[in-house]
Each structure stands twice: as structure tokens, then as C-alpha cells.
Amino acid sequence: MGSLPDLLPPLRYPSARRDDSVVDDYHGVLVPDPYRWLEDPDAEEVKEFVEMQVELTDSVLAQCGERERLRRRITELYDHPRYGTPFKRGSKYFYFHNSGLQAQSVLYVQNELEGKAEVLLDPNTLSEDGTVALTMLAVREDGKYLAYGLSENGSDWVTIKVMSIEDKQCQPDTLSWVKFSTISWTHDGKGFFYSRYPAPKERVGLDVGTKTNINLNQELYYHFLGTDQLEDILCWKDPEHPKYKFGVYVTEDGKYVLLYISEDCDPVNKLYYFDLSLLPHGLEHLLHFKGVSETLPFVKLVDNFEAQYAAVANDDSEFTFITNKGAPRYKLVRVDLKEPQLWTEVLPEDEKAVLKSAEAVNGNQLLVSYLLDVKYVLQIRDLRTGQLLHNLPVDIGSICGISGRRENSEVFFSFTSFLTPGIIYRCNLATEVPEMKIFREATVPGFDRIAFEVKQHFFSSKDGTKIPMFIVSKKNIELDGSHPTLVYGYGGFSCSLTPYFSVSRIVLIRSLGVVFCTANIRGGGEYGEEWHKSGSLAKKQNCFDDFIAAAEFLISTGYTNPKSLCIEGGSNGGLLVAACINQRPDLFGCALAHVGVMDMLRFHKFTIGHAWTSDYGCSDNEEEFQWLIKYSPLHNVKRPWERSAEQHCQYPSTMLLTADHDDRVVPLHSLKLLATMQYLLCTSLESKPQTNPIIARIERKAGHGFGCPTQKLIDEAADRYSFMAKMLGVSWID
């Protein structure tokens, strides 16, 4: 293990202007914000700052000796066929396929599962560099038309287009200003529901993916096939609640349209419905309501934000929902719209496992998935009674991409794990005992799973809470405290980190001797809503305590040591990493923070940031400001003498990763933290600057990570992990 001066020469950091006149008053507390100017992505000064940081990072990466070897090896393993779970509409099957190194996966269609598949839509033909992605789609019930959403450069903004499936001809329909929307066709085939935001006043030459404007006043529309967007029918709006978002679902029988209303990221929603049979001539008949109501006259079934409701099935007016109402681990309930006060329980909340999904299939059966100690359980149950019919055998890993309908006796689902690249199962429910067969299986060249092992440990956090963690390594490693170790975490928004296959991490384990770990800290959904709530709002510090305890466990049990330990996380996980290096800089040798929420006092002012107040709180509230100021990464960077005696040390080598078209967590978060860390830690004249580098990798023509082209994924993995290898003093193992 080399010391840093042997690894890199001293770095010359760009000088970023500090405007000390910018000071905000939060409930009587004055908080400086000297890098407020970095919030304007169009300012020339910001562009110059970014260019200088790109040059600095390029100079560091050029000295990371394993960079090209990592890129080549990751590319070799990435180059294998991958398939998405097939789904059926009408008489046709649809699925995604990537031959290996294609920038974007291609949508295929076939008349029979064993028949010839044809390319339906290839996003790779829509841009030279693969930065146009197919991010949403809905096939009409008869399988004749496809509505799909395209995103450019990783932005959350989507343009909806329509294609005729038979002749694969693109239709003139073009719907703009779509974001955080669903697409749901009505069964008469005349059109579909979708949600969009008001168009900006200035549109010419506008690159919306780089804008930070707050997203407000979403509206629900119905689009008639073959018409101009200006003719779309406004179906719902709520100007008194500009933060509301609207999702819509047309039931499988085509009779009802359900409106899901949410305000933030909490798993709660209002639920309204409309009986489409009241419009005998289709949505055109809505015009008859004009003068009586400006929008579709939805009936309010649930008109508060007490719980989450999602439809599983309906038989005419009788609906089955999955909900967390009085059930933090979720349950199934039933209600008849004719008697909306009478709710009955179909499948009670499990004592230990979290009900993750329920799909109505094969007439009156349910395919349900549970999460038990971060391991999936898959079952067939009776839709009417909830009674268990069959357990489906699945390995330790993750179930995703479940595809099935009540009208069909076959279902498909995908399985992955740390050591399983991907298996698609086809299950026949028409037999007395479900017949489950492998439909497709991914094979990675040169990967031999028997060379690796996966263990699950439960360690104690600061308050004694037991936290699960998966550890993936080569088989039978010696616990002598010498292993380079990478710990990944998230801990927020009720999102669960379950096992999945990663080519880049397999390369790290095999070729760099890395031990890879996933810490299932509080704030996630691994144990239901109680687990989530115990890591949010006033209890957010539990997330950082859990992650720090994970690192301490790995050190105390002999896996690694602080100089050999790297932590990584993205988005809310980027916040996690940044907060932890502020609180325990002595515990880590390297940190990789992707697209993190770093300014906890102003995040709600940009794009969709206001929706995150459900997990974080908001600085506009005095009590919540006091929570946020204590851990906000931007406001807690401290020089060595400002910390406790045992933490009079450098910060770990740190790479902040962001992208110029990230309009989810806008780049200003990472840029402001970067400028702050470089000034206080690396260029301050008041003390000897630290020698561990603080740099940023700023991707062009990319966003929050969704729809990123394959080559960009490979390049980023090679860059960040070669940086990690250099900082930890790790060499290639043949």
C-alpha cells in the first residue's frame, strides 16, 4: 500500500471565485453561500469552472495505471447478449434485446414466442452517439399501435411519439413537455392518457435538460390518435396544489380509469376513478361535460395522503388493491365502488416479509413477491381469498420484470443475483403444479461463478439496530485486514438494494482483489415503511450511522482497513457518501459520490427537488432546518483543526460524479460542494493543504443515469474504479 505522494504529484486546483456577500438568514441563523453563482448552468463563469475541473480530472485519470486495462476487461464482459422480460398485447409478444455493446437496447416484436422476431424500434438509429433513449412505452390492447417516449442526453424530459406496429411507420403524433408520466391507452383504441407540464414561454433553442427551473402544475391529458397535441383534452388539473403529480391507469377490462395523485416521494397517494362506460361515444363525449366541469368528473375514492394504494385487479366495480394502510409491510384489500366505505382484507400483512408486488394472472390467481431479509420469495395465491397455492422455487437474488395478465395462463419474470447475470423464467399456470422453465439465460464470457462467494452478515449500528449487508468476494479469502473493499449504500425513499449482477464489480473482485459489499441501511424499503421512516426526516442521521457502522464492521472482522476502504453511492446515496466523509474522514481511503443531493438547504428550489421534502424535510421550516444543517454535505466540510482530535486527518481521496443534463439532481449540487472542498481542504493558506485529491467527473450529454449509452457506462466505470485503485494502491491480478 503506497502513500499518496508516491501515487500522485501535488495537484493545482482551479481557483473558484468566492462571493462572501451571499448570506441567507434561516430562522435567525446566518448561512453563507459563497458559490451561489455556480447555480446558473448558462453562465460563462460556470462553464469555465467546469472546463477547468474536467482538465484537472483528466490529468489525474491519465495517471491511473489500471484505467485502460479496466476499460478493456469491462468491455469484454459487457459484450454478451441481454434480454428483457417479454410481454404480450393482443396476439403479439414484445421484448428488449441488446446484442452486447449496442448503445441502447432494441425493441422487438414477434407473433409467436418461437417465431421470428423483428425489430420494431431501434433507438440506436435516432442519434449518432446513442444519447437518445427509449424510456417509456405502452402498446395498445390490440397490439396494433405503440406509444413511446424518447429522452435526449439523459434528461427526464420526454417526447411521446406513436408508431403503427404492422408497417412500423412513425405517426405524426408528437407530444412535448412530458415528465414523470405514464401512458395508458383506452380500450376503444382511440387514444391514451398522459401527463405533462406547461410549455415554457421561451422554447426556441432551449436545451431543457440543462435547466434548473422548478417543476410545477402538472396536468393530465387525453390524446386522440392522429391529432395535434393542441387538441388534447385536459382531464385533470389542480392549480391550488402545484406540486401534485398525476399517474393514470386504465383497468385491464377497459372500464375504469384510475387517477393516482401524489405530492412528493412518500409512498402515499390519493385515488380517484372514472367509469368510462359513462362515455358511450368515447372521450369525445367529454365535450358534453364542458360548462359543468372543466375536467373529467373523477369520483374520489381516497382523498387523503394517509397511505399508498395500487390496483391489482378488478371484477367490474369490485377492486383489489395493494396498500400500506395500517400495514407498513403492505397487504391486499378489497372494496366495491358501490359501497366505498366497506373495505375488506384479502391478504394480511406478513409478520416478517414485505409484500413487494402482486399481479393478477391466469383468471383468479395472484403472482406475489415478498422480500424477506433482502431475499425474494415468489408465490402463487388465490385472488379471491389470498390463500397460498404454490411456492415457486427461486434462488437468493432479485425478482424483476414480472409480466402476466388475467387472460393468460403463462407468466414471465426475470431473476438476477450478484453471481447470476440474468435468467428469464416462463411459468405455465395451466398445469396442476406450475411448470417453471428457463426461457432465456444470459451468459457472460469468461465469468465462472464458482470462483466467488456471497455472504450475508447482520451487524449492529450505533443504536444497536441490526443491519443486513451482503459481502461478495473471491472464495475463501483470508480475513487479515488487507483487502481493498468497496461498500455501496443508498438508504432513502423506501428503495431497497437487492442483489443484482454487475460486470464492473465482478472485474473489481476478480482482477483487483476487491471485496464488494451492499449495506441495507435504514431509509430503504428492505423491511417496509417502518425501516424507511427510521432513516428519514429527523431520523436521517441513522442512515449515516448505519453506513459508518458497516465500515467499522468490515474493519473489525478483518476484511479491510481504513486506507483500503472505499464507499460509493448515487443520488440519495451520493448524499450518504458525502455526509459520511464529513463525519468520519478517518474511516475511508476513497469516496465515490454520484449525482448527490449536496445542498440540503436549497434542493427544493430546483426541478423536482420539492418532492424530496418527504424524506428530508425543508429548510423553510425552522425545526426541519435544524435537522438539515447538521448533516448537509455542503455546510459541514471541516478543516482538520475544526474536527475532534482523533479526526485530525485528511479527507479521503474523493471523486464527485455528475452530468450536464441531470435535471433530477442538478449538477450545481456537486459543483458547489466541489468548490467548497477544494477551497477549504486543498487550497486554503491557513494550513498545509491535503494531498488526497478532491476531483469531479462531469459527463457531457448525460443525466441522472437513466438511458445512458453502454459506452458511457463502461467509460465511467473504468474512470471511477481506476481512480479508486490508484488511491487505494491496488494493482492488477492476472
pLDDT tens, 195-237? 999 998 776 567 878 889 999 999 999 999 999 999 999 999 9
Residues of the chain short of pLDDT 50, as ranges, are 1-5, 290-292
Catalogue the E-assigned strands of 153-255. 158-164, 169-178, 184-185, 191-196, 219-224, 233-236, 245-250
* Domain-wise residue ranges, the chain: 36-76+454-728, 131-200+216-265+270-304, 306-444
Cell of 220: 393530465
Establish whether 662 is a catalytic residue: yes
Distance, in Å, from the CA atom of 192 to the CA atom of 185, rounded to the nearest integer, reads 4
Distance, in Å, from the CA atom of 652 to the CA atom of 727, rounded to the nearest integer, reads 9
Q: What are phi and psi of 486, to 5 degrees?
A: -120, 120
Please name the amino acid found at residue 382: D
- Cell 441502447 belongs to 104
Domain 131-200+216-265+270-304 has what CATH class? mainly beta
Residue (of 570, 530, 617, 595) closest to 264 by Cα position? 617
Catalytic residue among 173, 662, 663, 719: 662
Catalogue the E-assigned strands of 489-585. 515-519, 565-570
Query: Can you name the residues that pair with 164 across neighbouring β-strands?
Result: 145, 169
Q: At what angle do helices 541-556 and 572-583 cross, to 10 degrees?
A: 70
Residue (of 671, 665, 713, 717) closest to 155 by Cα position? 665
Domain 306-444 has what CATH class? mainly beta
Cell of 541: 442521521
Cell of 425: 423464467
The overall pTM is greater than 0.85: yes
Residue (of 512, 499, 493) closest to 397 by Cα position? 499
Task: Please give the pLDDT value at position 293.
Answer: 57
- Cell 393482443 belongs to 90
- The helix or strand, by DSSP H or E, that contains position 400, with its residue range, turns out to be strand 398-403
Q: Looking at residue 297, what DSSP letter applies?
A: -
Cell of 583: 463525519
Q: Looking at residue 239, what DSSP letter applies?
A: T
Distance, in Å, from the CA atom of 229 to the CA atom of 206, rounded to the nearest integer, reads 19
Distance, in Å, from the CA atom of 358 to the CA atom of 88, rounded to the nearest integer, reads 18
Distance, in Å, from the CA atom of 401 to the CA atom of 414, rounded to the nearest integer, reads 6
The answer to whether 501 and 421 have CB atoms below 8 angstroms apart is yes
Q: What are phi and psi of 100, to 5 degrees?
A: 155, -70
Task: Please give the pLDDT value at position 319.
Answer: 98
- Cell 423536482 belongs to 608
Residue (of 195, 731, 234, 205) closest to 508 by Cα position? 731
The answer to whether 283 and 191 have CB atoms below 8 angstroms apart is yes
Distance, in Å, from the CA atom of 413 to the CA atom of 401, rounded to the nearest integer, reads 5
Distance, in Å, from the CA atom of 223 to the CA atom of 229, rounded to the nearest integer, reads 7
306-444: same fold as 36-76+454-728? Answer: no
The answer to whether 21 and 620 have CB atoms below 8 angstroms apart is no
Cell of 364: 383468479
Task: Please give the pLDDT value at position 669.
Answer: 98
Distance, in Å, from the CA atom of 588 to the CA atom of 485, rounded to the nearest integer, reads 10
Distance, in Å, from the CA atom of 342 to the CA atom of 348, rounded to the nearest integer, reads 16
Cell of 136: 417509456
Residue (of 245, 249, 244) closest to 311 by Cα position? 249
- Cell 453506513 belongs to 547
Structural fold of domain 36-76+454-728: Rossmann fold (3.40.50)
